Amino acid sequence: MRLHTILAAMVAALGLAGCASSPPVSYISPGSAGQYSSVATPGVSPQEDPPKLASLEPFRAFGLGQGHGYARTYRNRSIPELVGLLRSPAEFSRQMRVSCSIWVRQVAEAHPGTPWESCEGAAAALERGGYASVACTDQMLAQNWLAVTDAEGHAFGVWHRRCLPGEQLLVQGDQLLASLLCINPGVPAGAPPAPPPMMPVATGGCPAVDILKINIWGHEALALPGVERTDANEQLANRFDVYNRIAHVSYDNGAQFRQAYAAGQIGRSRQPHMMQLSFIMTSQAHGGAPDILREQIVGVVPVTGLYEWRIPAAVRRVWDAERVVPVNSDVSSPPASGQTGYHELRFFNHLPENPTEGEWARNPVPDCVMNEHFIE
């Protein structure tokens, strides 16, 4: 029987008890810390020592079939839901086996530099953006420990295991902070990878991560010269177009918005907008229809005015485009597309004119930062 079939059966039978006690990729057996099962974990050394974090004390070794997830009920929680729990310590403790202060301290200690000094500090940081909910991958879990606790939340250990069906992870960039299914904190395995070397501009290249800025402007941006006309033409065209250059507020007026902002003429939105970020494959990138052949949702993030989506260049080049959609349709520009019904923007990594870099090649080179523009 395949492993995923086994996991699915266990989930159905045990109410997702597998958050800690599913067949692991490797585990520390009782009384033999540092000794692992013979099942290998890609990317993790069999001699790797468990992390020595003060916040994981008292530390104990959990054997096969032992241990519990942090959540008392295992289901994926959204980032906004997690923010609400952090702002209600009593409710956090009711739903979890540990207090929010312990959970925050463990995440912060495992990821130095994370600005989580308290439950409220963690909630505020999550609201500011830069965090995402992503689908779990076994490779991601192979590169990280997941903390595990006992039934009372009084002792802690760490596991390597495989993803559970439908499991989502809380990430910041390439750092795994926690499972959103179990709420178990993630702890990097071994030494953190060295950052890529700085690349001087003279080489004509960008670092390993590109930045797509998502700007949301106040409604007054429509009053800038020529913007309403561009918007009207875009609504009249009522279709995506990246080839024939129909009117497109984000593309045609974006530089104007940034100049007006610098001059104090307009401001960015002060209201949070929930934006769904995803990668897509579409025939449109190759001269065809704007269909979505495949989509991988990165997450839904609250954006107040500006959000920087940091995209590994290697990931970006795999997908045809980045797609950004206001979940609540609470923007006026771009207009709702007659082809999808959403006020969405797409940023293309592949185009017939440039099949390797797409829109990233349209600005003066090198340019590692690009912009998209919405108007309330």
**Cβ proximity of 142 and 41 under 8 Å:** yes
* Host H or E run for residue 81: helix 79-86
At 204 the pLDDT is 53
What is d(CA 358, CA 133) in angstroms, rounded to the nearest whole number?
A: 26
pLDDT the model gives residue 366: 56
Tell me, what's the pLDDT at 159? 79
CA dihedral over 87, 109, 132, 48, signed as positive or negative: negative
The pLDDT of residue 54 is 83
- Closest residue by Cα to residue 338 from 267, 298, 302, 289: 289
In the chain (376 residues long), the average pLDDT of successive 10-residue segments reads 36 46 36 28 43 82 77 93 94 94 91 84 89 88 87 87 89 90 88 44 62 94 92 75 68 90 93 89 85 84 89 83 91 84 89 84 72 93
Q: Which residues contact 182 (CB under 8 A, 6 or more apart)?
A: 16, 19, 20, 69, 70, 71, 74, 146, 167
What is the residue whose two structure tokens read 């949070």? Answer: 272
Q: Which of 206, 31, 184 is nearest to 96 (CA)?
A: 184
Alpha-carbon span 33 to 89, nearest angstrom: 33
Which pLDDT value is given to residue 364?
59
